[in-house]
Amino acid sequence: MPTVSVVVPFLNEEETLRAFCGFIEQKAEAAPYDVEVIFVDDGSTDDSIRIIESYGFNHCSHVRVISFSKNFGSHAAIRAGISKSTGNYCTFIGADLEEPEDMLDVMYEKITEGHDAVYIEKKSVAIGAVTRLTSNIYSALMRKYAVSNYRKGGVNNIMFSRKIADYLNGNIETNSSVPLQILDAGFDSVLVGMDYRTRVGGRSKWTLSKKIKLFIDSFVGFSYMPIRAVSIVGALFAAVGIIYGIYVIIARLLHPGMQQGYATMIVLLLFGFGITNISLGVIAEYLWRTFDAARNRPAFIISQEINIK
């Protein structure tokens, strides 16, 4: 019987883990495949691990808990889980039960048709208007400037073959996105749209700072657009500066007594220095990632592994 490895990254999810364990057990009991569960603790400080250890898993074929030495982020946790997976197919889902209840079965049915990957697009999810707007803007920018096959509803869940798992294990990237890396590789895939749910309890760890980091990582890691934009803006400002300089010279020659435009000069200097600093920041992002890759530090550090079953 084929095995599906389910990677579950979590951070302080003691309010939802017991319900999740019950869900994955029910899924394993009825599924036409074996279920291997790999929980990855991304630096939790609550009783999350104790809850997993105390749960009686009867139907999952293999259950393991991996603990990080500190918080490395959800994508690092997913990579760690994939590196320890042994199944024919692999996927990752959250411990908050936001994913559709039948998602695993739908993905398994599609991937056994011969595809390398099955992408799940969010058809609907209970989020605020501002969050939806920013998500749509992010998706549109990703499709245009980074990964052309990125979907409007986002691609948060993927089931993929052993071939893709081996590809990810051989190309572990820091400050990167696992879904984007798979999408960008161009493997044979199929898309399925599904409705998502609201989390069953606890608070989302998907903070504003993490969203901003993902936005920066996505474009710096998968697109040359930011650095190209710096060049374009620099060229435009150089052209405007030349034109304005010619205008000032001509005006000075035609009107020798014209009052000097100190206010205009200050505004231009402030605006110009602002653009310059933004440009330096974009260049620094690329330089930092180059340095980060050159020193070759691990994307995650595993401090403990617990075999539950």
CB 194 within 8 A of CB 106: yes
CA distance 101 to 124: 14
Q: What is the mean pLDDT of the chain?
A: 83
Residue 244 has a pLDDT of: 73
pLDDT in tens, 88-120: 999 999 988 888 889 999 999 999 999 999 999
Instruction: Count Cβ atoms below 10 Å from residue 34 Cβ, excluding itself.
Output: 17
E strands along 88-127, which residues? 89-92, 117-124
Residue 205 has a pLDDT of: 63
Residue 214 has a pLDDT of: 74
SS (H, E, C) 281-307: HHHHHHHHHHHHHHHCCCCCCEEEEEE
Taking only Cα atoms into account, the Rg of the chain, rounded to an integer number of angstroms, comes to 25
Residue 8 has a pLDDT of: 96
In 3D, which of 60, 77, 106, 62 has the Cα closest to residue 11? 77
In 3D, which of 195, 120, 123 has the Cα closest to residue 159? 120
Q: Helix, strand, or coil here: 191?
A: strand
Q: Look up the pTM and report it.
A: 0.77
Pairing of strands 189-195, 302-307: unpaired
Phi, psi of 64 (to 5 degrees): -140, 145
**End-to-end Cα spacing for the chain:** 18
Residue 267 has a pLDDT of: 65
User: What tokens were used for 212?
Assistant: 């901003």
Which of the residues in the chain have pLDDT under 50?
none
Cα–Cα–Cα angle for 235, 240, 245, rounded to 5 degrees = 125
Longest Cα–Cα distance of the chain, Å, equals: 92
CB 94 within 8 A of CB 205: no
User: What tokens were used for 22?
Assistant: 């019950």
Residue 278 has a pLDDT of: 77
pLDDT-above-70 percentage for the chain: 89
